């Protein structure tokens, strides 16, 4: 996750990798898109406060988080209306487990997501 597009990037830890997932034009402001990185589904969100990425499936019942409604720096799962903070993955309603988070970097027009390196 990043607070703003183009923000200075911290070093990528050795057990992770950056993967280009889309361009900034691929995800309209206020929306999410599902991408696959190394066989893992990830939901990427473009918000007025920056870019965020969560695990693609809702921890509650597996709903597609990328298809959820984005507002107030959170996403609402389209299946059962569980809400998750885009920055922390914390469940904001319904007592669900937190969603996995991934750091997002924007380099030029490219959106990159940090994921655990494949063994």
What pLDDT was estimated at residue 10? 59
Residue 6 within any structural domain of the chain: no
**CA–CA distance, 19 with 81 (Å, rounded to integer):** 29
Show the low-confidence residues of the chain (pLDDT under 70): 1-14, 118-119
- pLDDT given at position 113: 97
Which residues neighbour 76 within 8 Å (Cβ) at sequence distance 6 or greater?
A: 68, 69, 82, 83
**Does the residue 59 lie in any domain?**
yes
**What pLDDT does 13 receive?**
67
- Domain membership of residue 8 (yes or no) is no
- Residue 108: give its domain's CATH number: 2.102.10.10
How much is the pTM? 0.85
Residue 64 belongs to what domain range? 16-116
Domain annotation covers residue 25? yes
Domain count, the chain: 1
Please report whether residue 7 resides in a domain.
no
Q: What is the DSSP string of the chain?
A: -BSSTTPPPPPPPTTEEEEEEEEGGGS-TTEEEEEEETTEEEEEEEETTEEEEEESB-TTT--BGGGSEEETTEEE-TTT--EEETTT--B-STTPPPPPEE-EEEETTEEEEEEEPP-
Asked if residue 76 belongs to a domain, the reply is: yes
- Domain contains 105: yes
Q: What would the pLDDT profile of 82-100 be if each residue is shown by its tens digit?
A: 999 999 999 998 777 999 9
Domain presence at residue 2: no
């Amino acid at each position: 996750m990043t607070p703003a597009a183009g923000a200075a990037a911290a070093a990528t830890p050795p057990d992770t990798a950056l993967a280009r997932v889309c361009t900034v034009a691929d995800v309209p402001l206020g929306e999410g898109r599902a991408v696959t990185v190394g066989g893992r589904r990830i939901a990427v969100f473009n918000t007025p406060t920056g870019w965020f990425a969560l695990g693609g499936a809702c921890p509650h019942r597996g709903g597609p988080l990328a298809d959820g409604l984005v507002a107030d720096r959170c996403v609402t799962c389209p299946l059962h209306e569980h809400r998750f903070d885009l920055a922390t993955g914390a469940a904001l309603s319904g007592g669900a487990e937190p969603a996995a988070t991934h750091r997002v970097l924007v380099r030029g027009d490219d959106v990159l997501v940090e994921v655990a390196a494949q063994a």
